[in-house]
Amino acid sequence: MFDEPHIYEDNYIQAEVVVLANSRDEALDLLSKKDKWNIEELKRIQPITVPLDRPCIVSKLISFG
């Protein structure tokens, strides 16, 4: 069996969240107040941090199915 984090409380095929925050803790705090995000499972994932001092693509999602 896979040991992938189950980051949202409802059943889903794919879940992704992009948060703009000053720190990982601030992002998790914000998510804990919204919807049904599973904070303990999200803590298992190492976030990708993006410096905001230059333009960049923050997120891309392509899903076929």
* Cβ–Cβ < 8 Å for 8, 15: yes
Global confidence as pTM = 0.74
- pLDDT tens-digit series, residues 5-63: 888 898 888 888 888 888 899 999 999 998 799 999 999 998 888 777 888 777 777 77
- For the chain, the domain total comes to 1
pLDDT number for residue 48: 81
Domain range spanning residue 61?
1-65
CA-closest candidate to residue 36, choices 17, 18, 49: 17
Q: How far is CA 18 from CA 42, 49, 58, in A?
A: 12, 10, 8
